[in-house]
Amino acid sequence: MKWYQYIACFFAGLFIANTVPHLIHGVSGDVFPTPFATPAGKGPSSPTVNVFWGLLNLVIGYLLMRAGRVSNQKVMSLVVFFIGILLMSWMLSVAFMEKQMQF
């Protein structure tokens, strides 16, 4: 694999992980921060915005998975992909923990 495919695998993991909270809050009818809120990333966005933002993250993540050729035949691509998921999940947990403490 080429070096830039590993970068694609990593960012695919980031985008796929970011899909989860937005889709869950969106389909649950809850407001949740998105980059389109005021202030960006901190203010509330509607459930509809969250659904579309979550789906956009999913599409971008999928396209990056294809570009990075993430597969179980290329173990290193999976490792890098899951490192991206791990890092984004950890960052989101810290960011949203602070959000919950504000309410």
> For residue 100, what pLDDT is reported?
57
Q: Which residue has the tokens 């290193």?
A: 76
Element (H, E) at 88: helix 75-102
> For residue 43, what pLDDT is reported?
84
Q: Across the 103 residues of the chain, what is the mean pLDDT of every consecutive 10-residue run? A: 94 97 94 87 89 97 95 92 96 78 50
Residue 27 exposure: Cα atoms within 13 Å on the Cβ side = 7
> For residue 98, what pLDDT is reported?
67
> For residue 103, what pLDDT is reported?
46
* Domain residue ranges in the chain: 3-102
Query: Which DSSP letter does residue 44 get?
Result: E
Residues in CB range of 14: below 8 A, 6 or more apart: 61, 84, 85, 87, 88
